[in-house]
């Protein structure tokens, strides 16, 4: 009986693994050059940790289990709670600001869709201990630094940016109570994914007052930061957050990535822990799910029993990113081609062990090298070397061994040269 993989998971055959490694290696490389340090945590945590952050409804969205001691655990659906727990444990000894990144394997018990699986990898970048919008700009830059590197341009992707703090102040000036905000955010977060009449129907269920609804709809239709003041009279709190958002766009211009970014008041982010600037990254045509997103979460560490410390960060998953790169023709052509430095062939069976011995010496010196497992004619071995994309083929034979010599064949040009065995091996060892 053949057993298929669990729905919503993936098997990574060598070509798939090459794509996965290429994406993750890029995430790590860009993180390090932007000054972030890598961390990780356990693949499962106490269930209550995710309930603290996202409420009891999160239980239906993750894989939970009970261990032999009766403790309620869960496979991590995200790593930010783990980050908060780890930072709180050593808060007094960690140098500030804390700039960490992670590439965790995550699990969510959701219905699999295009770009959304039950098991996936996610790149997380976080800065803790900086309350200025410079930190928000830096994490956005870091995301774009990677996306630019892999060939995506402002014609391909856009970072849509808004502010939860600003939206809260504007909604409260309309007359929405503070206790009503979280429920309203959930509705507003769906605005860009619903037909206009369906969105207005959902809004009516949440906001009964027609005048307030009209003002909310007018507010959600603004297309620039400057239009907000034309739509509503700004309170001091609203003006402060609008100015902060304006400053963020100035910084993104200074950093050279403003052409990727635009204001979109409809970016709310459904998670309740966001407190300020929020953003999501989309393909320009908005045909796919969000590539990633993030924002400021200044209260999260306090919710986990730590002090009130400002924090900001983002996450980018591998699923949607890979789909976009495939569609743009950017993935396959950037993957490194598997090549051997050397393939060692022998003219006759008697020197097969000599070929194996030389192969292992080359590997020990740091070169990628291969040989034929079965004794075969030289022509077949050369074909095998070509199939394995070997750069050069080393040929060992009876007369060559007697003279302590090797034949080195360039597989691209077909040119051959005769070299001394010992000098060749010394050169290979020293050059690595």
What single DSSP character describes residue 113? B
Tokens of residue 125, six digits: 């970048």
Answer yes or no: are the C-beta atoms of 362 and 389 closer than 8 Å. no
Contacts with 150 (C-beta within 8 Å, 6 or more apart), sequence order: 26, 325, 330, 334
Beta bridge partners of 348: none
Answer yes or no: are the C-beta atoms of 193 and 296 closer than 8 Å. no
Minimal CA–CA distance to 253: which of 125, 166, 133, 98? 133
**Can you give the pLDDT at residue 52?**
79
Answer yes or no: are the C-beta atoms of 272 and 55 closer than 8 Å. yes
**Calculated CA dihedral for residues 264, 265, 266, 271, nearest 10 degrees:** 110
The half-sphere exposure of 273 on its side-chain side, counting CA atoms within 13 A, is 22
Cα–Cα distance for residue pair 105/107, rounded to 1 Å? 7
The half-sphere exposure of 432 on its side-chain side, counting CA atoms within 13 A, is 14
Cα–Cα distance for residue pair 142/149, rounded to 1 Å? 11
Query: In terms of CATH, what superfamily is 340-431?
Result: Anticodon-binding domain (3.40.50.800)
DSSP string across 331-356:
SGGGSPPP-EEEEEEESSGGGHHHHH
Residue with tokens 């055959």: 13
Q: In what order do the strands lie in the sheet with 416-420?
A: 369-371, 340-346, 390-396, 405-410, 416-420
For residue 3, how many other CB atoms are within 10 A of its CB?
5
Cα–Cα distance for residue pair 97/243, rounded to 1 Å? 24
Answer yes or no: are the C-beta atoms of 80 and 300 closer than 8 Å. yes
- Strand pairing of 340-346 and 390-396? parallel
Cα 251 → chain centroid: 23
Answer yes or no: are the C-beta atoms of 20 and 12 closer than 8 Å. yes
Cα–Cα distance for residue pair 106/246, rounded to 1 Å? 34
Minimal CA–CA distance to 241: which of 189, 129, 163, 160? 163
Q: What angle do CA 317, 323, 329 make, to 5 degrees?
A: 130
- Strand pairing of 119-128 and 311-317? antiparallel
Q: Which residues in the chain are classed under CATH 3.30.930.10?
A: 14-41+79-333
Helix, coil or strand: residue 65? strand
Cα–Cα distance for residue pair 242/66, rounded to 1 Å? 46
Contacts with 408 (C-beta within 8 Å, 6 or more apart), sequence order: 392, 393, 394, 395, 416, 417, 418, 419, 424
Buried b (16+ CB within 10 A) or exposed e, 89-107: eebeeeeebbbbbbbbebb
Per-residue pLDDT in tens (0 to 9) along the chain, 432 residues: 899 999 999 999 999 999 999 999 999 999 999 999 999 999 999 999 888 766 666 778 899 999 999 999 999 999 999 999 999 999 999 999 999 999 999 999 989 999 899 999 999 999 999 999 999 999 999 999 999 999 999 999 999 999 998 988 888 888 888 777 777 888 888 887 778 888 888 888 888 778 888 888 888 888 889 888 887 778 888 888 899 999 999 999 999 999 999 999 989 886 667 889 999 999 998 899 999 999 999 988 998 888 999 999 999 999 999 999 999 999 988 998 889 999 999 988 888 889 999 999 999 999 999 999 988 899 999 999 999 999 999 999 877 677 888 999 999 999 999 999 999 998 988 876
Cα–Cα distance for residue pair 114/169, rounded to 1 Å? 36
Residue with tokens 């808060």: 91
Q: Which residues in the chain are classed under CATH 3.40.50.800?
A: 340-431
Answer yes or no: are the C-beta atoms of 167 and 191 closer than 8 Å. no
Helix, coil or strand: residue 91? coil
| Domain covering 14-41+79-333, topology | BirA Bifunctional Protein; domain 2 (3.30.930)
């Amino acid at each position: 009986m053949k057993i298929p993989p669990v729905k919503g998971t993936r098997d990574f055959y060598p070509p798939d693994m090459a794509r996965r490694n290429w994406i993750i290696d890029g995430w790590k490389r860009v993180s390090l050059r932007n000054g972030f340090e890598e961390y990780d945590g356990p693949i499962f945590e106490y269930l209550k940790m995710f309930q603290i952050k996202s409420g009891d409804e999160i239980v239906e969205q993750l894989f939970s289990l009970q261990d032999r001691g009766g403790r309620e655990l869960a496979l991590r659906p995200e790593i930010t709670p783990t980050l908060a727990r780890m930072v709180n444990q050593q808060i007094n000894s960690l140098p500030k600001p804390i700039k960490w990144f992670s590439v965790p394997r995550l699990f969510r018990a959701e219905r699999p869709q295009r770009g959304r699986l039950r098991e996936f990898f996610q790149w997380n970048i976080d800065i803790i201990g900086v309350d200025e919008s410079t930190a928000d700009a830096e994490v956005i830059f870091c995301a774009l630094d990677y996306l630019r590197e892999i060939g995506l341009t402002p014609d391909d992707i856009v970072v849509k940016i808004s502010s939860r703090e600003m939206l809260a102040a504007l909604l409260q000036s309309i007359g929405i109570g503070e206790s009503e905000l979280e429920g309203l955010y959930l509705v507003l977060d769906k605005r860009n994914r619903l037909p206009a009449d369906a969105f207005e129907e959902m809004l009516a269920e949440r906001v009964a007052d027609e005048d307030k609804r009209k003002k909310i709809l007018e507010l959600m239709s603004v297309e620039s930061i400057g239009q907000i003041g034309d739509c509503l009279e700004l309170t001091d709190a609203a003006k402060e957050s609008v100015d902060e958002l304006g400053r963020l766009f100035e910084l993104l211009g200074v950093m050279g990535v403003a052409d990727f970014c635009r204001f979109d008041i409809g970016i709310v982010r459904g998670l309740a822990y966001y407190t300020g600037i929020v953003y999501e990254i989309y393909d320009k045509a908005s045909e796919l799910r969000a590539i990633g997103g993030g924002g400021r979460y200044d209260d999260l560490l306090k919710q986990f029993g730590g002090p009130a410390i400002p924090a900001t960060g983002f996450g980018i998953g591998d699923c949607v990113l890979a789909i976009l790169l495939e569609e743009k023709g950017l993935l396959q052509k950037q993957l490194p081609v598997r090549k051997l430095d050397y393939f060692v062939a022998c003219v006759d069976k008697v020197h097969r062990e000599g070929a194996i011995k030389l192969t292992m010496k080359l590997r020990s010196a740091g070169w990628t090298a291969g040989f034929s497992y079965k004794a075969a004619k030289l022509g077949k071995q050369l074909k095998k070397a070509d199939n394995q994309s070997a750069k050069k083929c080393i040929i060992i034979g009876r007369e060559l061994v007697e003279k302590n010599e090797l034949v080195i064949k360039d597989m691209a040009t077909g040119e051959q040269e005769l070299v001394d065995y010992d000098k060749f091996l010394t050169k290979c060892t020293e050059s690595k």
